[in-house]
Structure 1
């Protein structure tokens, strides 16, 4: 039987983060939910507890290093350790480069790259001091390929893979996993401003896998024996090209 772990999850108010929280709590792990939508994560945590799981929630903006450090420090103080961080928070406002959607570019850089780095900065010293820990970073199929309208988004997800590989090579006591989902049922497409692009993405999402499929991949990675480091998992619909 896998021992109960303390798992911090960013972007846990919906999609992959929420599904992962529910799945891990049902398996007996203690989940700490972080997201900007505090009312939503409060509701999710309450539902998890009502179902017999262990969950707590805290408002979190991953673009703030101080907020991320406070999130991690609070969990460390309450539970005495942090076993896993799931760096899940992400945004995907796709657009062609000539649309010059600079604010959207910066938002993706802030959330998808800086957010991941802030998570690492918050938990790595605690894990190093303990001599154990596991950091799971969410990339994407877009971190393996580039499609029109996704140049900046893909760049951020390529960066997540590069950061993760660097951390893995620098670590002997911290496990590092990259999860790269394909089309998954989430709210990511809601942030696309261009109606035609949003419609095209949603058309592709008709074959999407449920967020629980990605949560199951995360659960698999974190429940392996301590000497086994699952470095990368790609999970996508069978029908996706």
Structure 2
């Protein structure tokens, strides 16, 4: 079996479920050694066991990406334990309801802290290593919601819109030094993204949305990540959208 990422080392945040978990499995299958970070320690341990059972190399680094010290520690331990960091997958994130009427500003801060600032922290920690190595790849999991807001998605959409533009700024800043940066924007994907939404009506709506017939599977996103990384170094897929075939909306 071809392993296009053999010899590479990746750090995946939000690796305990959904897209992050699928990304970790696909990266390991493609030959990368994978460091896994998330808050749910028991899930990370189970994922490490699965990867190692299939002959791969994995390392659990529990942490909360909203805490800058945790994010920097995840990068530092990846380099210390696995020797380098070639790939950073920013998958840690949450969704919350976020209208402006009767707004709970704490929700806005929480969404932005995780979706935007968590990405800033890991990138800030990883980029110096990548520049010193002379090579690196950063893929940030955003969302099609970053392109289009809605009456109950303003907090989430604002955070993902900010992530999109920050990521593209990094692409322009780092591309000339062989660090490729990609924004990956999934549409409805079958994950646990809706399970922790505090508003019960919005929670039910999002759970139904991601469970609908034809929704994208997390592994589809994981395989897309490997495809992006396996492209020749002269090629930077700067942005990619993945939506269900049956979803024809803009």
Q: TM-score range by the shorter chain?
A: over 0.9
1:191-202 equivalent positions in 2, closer than 5 A: 191-202=196-207
1:161 is aligned to 2:168: no
Asked whether the equivalents of residues 5 and 27 of structure 2 are also in contact (C-alpha less than 8 Å), the reply is no
Q: Secondary structure at the match of 2:52?
A: helix
From 60, 65, 75, the counterpart of 1:62: 65
Q: Size of the alignment, in residue pairs?
A: 241
1:220 is aligned to 2:227: yes
1:116-145: per-residue Cα shift (whole Å, max 9, x none)?
A: 000111101111111110111111010111
Partners in 1 of 2:168 and 2:29 — Cα distance?
30
1:168-179 equivalent positions in 2, closer than 5 A: 168-171=171-174, 172=176, 173-179=178-184
From 74, 78, 86, the counterpart of 2:77: 74
1:180-191 equivalent positions in 2, closer than 5 A: 180-191=185-196
Asked whether the equivalents of residues 30 and 226 of structure 2 are also in contact (C-alpha less than 8 Å), the reply is no
Unpaired runs of at least 5, structure 1? none
In the TM superposition, what is the alpha-carbon distance from 1:3 to its structure 2 partner? 4.1
Partners in 2 of 1:37 and 1:29 — Cα distance?
22
Partners in 1 of 2:41 and 2:131 — Cα distance?
30
Match of 2:43 in 1: 40
Match of 1:27 in 2: 30
In the TM superposition, what is the alpha-carbon distance from 1:216 to its structure 2 partner? 1.1
Match of 1:204 in 2: 209
**TM-score scaled by length of structure 1:** 0.96
Match of 1:132 in 2: 135
1:14-34: per-residue Cα shift (whole Å, max 9, x none)?
A: 000001111111222111100
Partners in 1 of 2:127 and 2:31 — Cα distance?
24
1:157-178: per-residue Cα shift (whole Å, max 9, x none)?
A: 0011110111111111210010
1:18 is aligned to 2:21: yes
1:229 is aligned to 2:236: yes
4+ long deviations beyond 6 Å: none
Q: Secondary structure at the match of 1:185?
A: coil
Cα RMSD between the aligned structures? 1.2
**TM-score scaled by length of structure 2:** 0.93
1:161-220: per-residue Cα shift (whole Å, max 9, x none)?
A: 110111111111210010000000111101222222222222222132111111111111
Asked whether the equivalents of residues 98 and 108 of structure 2 are also in contact (C-alpha less than 8 Å), the reply is no
